[in-house]
DNA sequence: CGCACTCTTGAGGGGGCTCAATTAGAGTGG
DNA sequence: CCACTCTAATTGAGCCCCCTCAAGAGTGCG
């Protein structure tokens, strides 16, 4: 049972730029199916030349790279509405891997049709570039977080960012959301050791700022957390949905 | 005296994806002039909604963000051939600022024509997306560098990256190139303190690995430096030139 | 019940931070 | 031509945040 784009459950959220009817039709023509995978399954591999592109529909995952000494850097997290595989689509291969952290459903597109898609639907091509720019924006922010902030600040930033992203797509109920990642994932994202990540998370819990345990994140006071993270609360930019 | 795109001095370098005649004509129609600025001059400001987009033709600059506590994070460096302002073009505003570190010449494009450009030249639109993906790739690498590497490794990585980038566009002569940045710029890029950056640069100099002084960078043994930086030597990806 | 994975907590050491002072070079103006 | 200023690079001293090593506890699974 494949969801048709006109019934896409994500479209209604204001996080996404509104789509015209012709946008929706274009996507429906481009979409070739759905992929359902279990937690822990790889979606795309670094260096691979995948024939497919995806949009996350349900579930969460992470993007990561391997360094030559076997370490892992988590580049970003994947939430519903995120587009996956653009690099392979235009550059020919992925510079990072993507893997599911929970059970995921992804819309599948054929990479071979991407070029025709660009020609036929310039508005959507524009949106794809936009999306890429949003991604770049986010990485720039992550870089800043990593370069300038203490562990407490970095973790506050990361948790709050994820929380606010998920709020916008209806995944937060009662100030609580599912967070299927491991502490190691967040540590690898922020360049911290697992041990120190754990201790800092305890600190956030003790101070009642953010409680991440049992696979769920609870945030009661976003203002306080934002003050520590040194970010504004109103800055989840609107982005296109592909 | 404005350079016409068919005489663009950058096109001949293999760093860039070859351009077809129609590509060149498209760019010539899109280009509205050149901007020449002195070192220290801002090109684009964070949050600004610039009416113009640029491609660096000569000179170097840097991209940076300000954090709410007044610190500065250098996101990336700008070299000839880099496209500047894409974020403003698609998202409506820049998420970082760009400023010249040396005297620069930039090709100028009108942002208002970007949308028409996308419709008229889908190949070029595709290339723009590609470029954005390259940028994302680079930021991912930077994130890894910052998150996983020691100061010595990070600095080796950064210097070697810049050196190899400039080699590809003919700016290296006799293993030596102009490097108009300040130590503070590099420190802010890598999330290091100025003091420690300085001491680590001395170390690289003592070990005869990389000598950056008097505004010039000399690298004699790329292999050794690459070993420290933990990167391969053959990985400056081909990218489109806009 | 043993193995694997994740989270947790303690102890000790070092890489990179901050504070502070000096040197060198480039203007600028009297 | 020299005093004054400003910016960039340099070097020393002391300290702390975060790292590594190590061990233990909780949970799910074959």
Reported as a single tens digit per residue, the pLDDT across A127-165 is: 999 999 999 999 999 999 999 999 999 999 999 999 999
Residue A235 has pLDDT above 80, yes or no: no
Domains of chain B and CATH, by start: 5-122 (2.60.120.10), 143-229 (1.10.10.10)
Distance (Å) from CA B195 to C1' C21? 13
Cβ <8 Å between B90 and A126: yes
pLDDT, tens digit, 9 for 90 and up, residues A78-123:
999 999 999 999 999 999 999 999 999 999 999 999 999 999 999 9
Mean pLDDT along residues A223-233: 94
Q: What is the pLDDT along chain B (242 residues), one digit of tens a residue?
A: 799 999 999 999 999 999 999 999 999 999 999 999 999 999 999 999 999 999 999 999 999 999 888 889 999 999 999 999 999 999 999 999 999 999 999 999 999 999 999 999 999 999 999 999 999 999 999 999 999 999 999 999 999 999 999 999 999 999 999 999 999 999 999 999 999 999 999 999 999 999 999 999 999 999 999 999 999 898 788 999 99
Closest in A90, A137, A188 to B87, CB measured: A137
Closest in B129, B144, B189 to A129, CB measured: B129
pLDDT on residue A236: 81
pLDDT on residue A64: 97
Q: Residue B77: beta bridge partners?
A: B62
Distance (Å) from CA B103 to C1' D3? 31
Q: Mean pLDDT score of chain A, rounded to an integer?
A: 95
Residue A1 has pLDDT above 80, yes or no: no
pLDDT on residue B237: 87
Residues A171, A180: contact at Cβ < 8 Å? no
Chain B residues with beta carbon closer than 8 angstroms to that of A190: 147
Distance (Å) from CA A74 to C1' C5? 19
User: What residues 132-191 of chain A have any CB closer than 8 A to a CB of chain B?
Assistant: 132-137, 139-144, 146-148, 188-191
pLDDT on residue A70: 80
Residues B150, B203: contact at Cβ < 8 Å? no
Residue with nearest Cα to nucleotide C20 C1'? B195
Chain A contact for B57 (CB, 8 A cutoff): no
pLDDT on residue B236: 81
Task: For chain B, give the secondary structure using H, E and C.
Answer: CCCCHHHCCCCCCCCECCCCHHHHHHHHHHEEEEEEECCCCEEECCCCCCCEEEEEEECCEEEEEECCCCCEEEEEEECCCCEECHHHHHHCCCCCEEEECCCEEEEEEEHHHHHHHHHHCHHHHHHHHHHHHHHHHHHHHHHHHHHHCCHHHHHHHHHHHHHHHHHCCCCCECCEEECCCCHHHHHHHHCCCHHHHHHHHHHHHHCCCEEEECCEEEECCHHHHHHHHCCCCCCCCCECCC
Chain A residues with beta carbon closer than 8 angstroms to that of B89: 133
pLDDT on residue A125: 97
């Amino acid at each position: 049972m494949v969801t048709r784009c006109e019934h896409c459950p994500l479209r209604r959220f204001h996080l996404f730029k509104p789509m015209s009817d012709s946008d929706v039709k274009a996507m429906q023509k481009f979409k070739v199916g759905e992929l359902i995978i279990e937690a822990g399954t790889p979606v795309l591999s670094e260096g691979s030349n995948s024939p497919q592109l995806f949009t996350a529909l349900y579930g969460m995952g992470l993007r990561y790279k391997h360094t030559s000494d076997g370490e892992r850097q988590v580049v970003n997290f994947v939430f519903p509405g995120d587009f996956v595989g653009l690099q392979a689509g235009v550059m020919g291969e992925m510079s990072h891997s993507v893997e599911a952290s929970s059970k995921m459903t992804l819309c599948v597109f054929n990479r071979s049709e991407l070029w025709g898609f660009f020609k036929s639907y310039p508005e959507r091509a524009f949106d794809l570039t936009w999306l890429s720019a949003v991604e770049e924006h986010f990485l720039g922010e992550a870089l800043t977080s990593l370069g300038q902030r203490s562990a407490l600040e970095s973790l506050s930033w990361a948790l709050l960012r994820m929380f606010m992203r998920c709020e916008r797509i209806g995944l937060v109920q009662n100030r609580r959301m599912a967070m299927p990642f491991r502490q190691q994932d967040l540590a690898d994202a922020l360049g911290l050791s697992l041990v120190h990540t754990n201790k800092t998370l305890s600190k956030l819990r003790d101070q009642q700022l953010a409680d991440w345990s049992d696979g769920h994140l609870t945030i009661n006071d976003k203002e306080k957390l934002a003050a520590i993270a040194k970010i504004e609360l109103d800055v989840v930019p609107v982005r296109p949905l592909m």
